[in-house]
Structure 1
Amino acid sequence: MRALRSRVRLVSLLSLVAVLASVAWVAYRHWRDRPPFSVSAVHATATVRFTEWSRFEQDARAIGAEDLGARPAGRPDDRLFVGRLEHRTPTGAGDQDVFHVLVVDKRNERFAGVGNLTQGPPSYLAGLSQRYPWLPAPRGAEDGQAWSVAVPANRPGPISFAGGLPASQGLTEADLMVVLVLVGQDGTAYWAARVSG
């Protein structure tokens, strides 16, 4: 009888430990995947202007797009654009939190190349189109072009960006969607916000 009671106690204790471990794991995952601040804390707005290679610097200055670095990569016949995303620096933004600015041609759901930094779509984009139906699956930017402009989330704005899209008839600024994504240090995309378009 004692042996049976001991076994029942042991099974009960192991069950309790398993339940507590499960609860701890779920709580940790919730804490880890929780954004350090919400999208509403950012108050983002964007301005985009199409330009030409010969007027690039002038148009960038006209909308206040500073610190663009080198001109974006692309073909000479690309439709070049320059943009500026204004935002508040949110309380709770850490050194490891990163804002990514993406530009999408809504007509054909293609991402624009916005720099010369990386090749291929970033890993955080993979699941975002499932969470946000308005965001297309990653495709579009040419090899050698960045898919996004990345800046630390705790750096005061604005964020300037520039890029190009293959020239096509009737493409206007209203056809471009500017998206802001918050990515954590482990590559977790906390949220995506449609800033314009």
Structure 2
Amino acid sequence: MKRRAGLIIGVAMLLVAAGTTVGWRWWHNRAPYGPTALGATATLRLVDQATADAAMSPVNAEHAGDGDQIFLGRVAWVRPPGLKDDGSFRVVILDKRSRRMPGFISVTSPRPDDVGAGSDGTLDVAQERYSWLQGIGSREVNGSFWTAGDAITVSSLDASPVTFVTVLHPARPGTPPEHAVATAPAAVSDLLVALINVGPDGQVYWAQRLLN
């Protein structure tokens, strides 16, 4: 009888522990607000070098050469009142044709120290969760995982609006697949712009398709 009672108590403790773990995961991955709270918008257009330089000043925009295309973009939102600034964003530009991102992005904002460009593991999580973001994370080439493209990192809700310039270069024959990025020629409608909300521990809360 005592053995049976001990078994029942043990099973009960396991169920409580399992329920606590599930509850913690739900709380940990629960977004403090949804995408509609920000009212985020995005614009993207083809421009010349002078326009790109003026929009990015005092940050230097990448210089375009013959056959290159310069895309000037802007992502803006309104900070919801009363929110703690403990998360971050990723802004991704993805060529829907090749499922690749630009190789380099220049970015600035009213708070330039709160924006940058690069890649991290949150992009892998986002592309696994959202099929329309396939291509923003690492990809396997010959048994190794590579990330060639750039995304924008925003570390503060107060960094809006974010202005960026990316230059697409014509494809170069013989480029290794692990180094392949989005290439020219491209139309504005070919490039998807999305905003990804990331929690303080790198958890992906949500992704919103802003353009195309």
Judge same fold: TM > 0.5, yes or no. Answer: yes
1:65-101 per-position Cα deviation (integer Å, ceiling 9, x unaligned): x6773324x7634322111112121346433210111
Q: Which runs of 4+ in 1 moved over 6 A?
A: none
CA distance 1:147–1:187, change in 2 (3 Å):
same
1:47-76 per-position Cα deviation (integer Å, ceiling 9, x unaligned): 112223233234x2xxxxx6773324x763
Amino acid in the other structure paired with 2:87: D
Does the 8 Å CA contact 2:117/2:153 hold for their aligned counterparts? no
Percentage identity across aligned positions? Answer: 27
Partner of 2:7, secondary structure, is helix
Question: How many residue pairs were aligned?
Answer: 182
Does the 8 Å CA contact 2:53/2:60 hold for their aligned counterparts? no
CA distance 1:52–1:134, change in 2 (3 Å):
same
Residue 105 in structure 1 maps to residue 95 in structure 2: yes
Matches within 5 A, 1:1-80: 5-58=1-54, 60=55, 69-72=59-62, 76-77=65-66, 78-80=68-70
2:106, 2:192 → 1: CA distance?
Answer: 17
Q: 2:153 aligns with which of 150, 154, 170?
A: 150
Match of residue 195 from structure 2: 180
1:34, 1:102 → 2: CA distance?
Answer: 22
CA distance 1:166–1:126, change in 2 (3 Å):
same
Amino acid in the other structure paired with 1:123: G
TM-score normalised to the size of structure 1? 0.79
Which blocks of at least 5 consecutive residues in structure 1 are unaligned?
61-65
2:78, 2:150 → 1: CA distance?
Answer: 23
- Post-superposition offset of 1:139: 6.4
Match of residue 86 from structure 1: 76
1:132-166 per-position Cα deviation (integer Å, ceiling 9, x unaligned): 121122369xx9x8722222342152122221222
Q: 1:135 aligns with which of 114, 118, 133?
A: 133
TM-score normalised to the size of structure 2? 0.74
Across the aligned residues of Structure 1 and Structure 2, the Cα RMSD in angstroms comes to 2.8
Partner of 1:186, secondary structure, is coil
- Post-superposition offset of 1:188: 1.3
Does the 8 Å CA contact 1:89/1:156 hold for their aligned counterparts? no
Higher radius of gyration, 1 or 2: 1
2:137, 2:27 → 1: CA distance?
Answer: 31
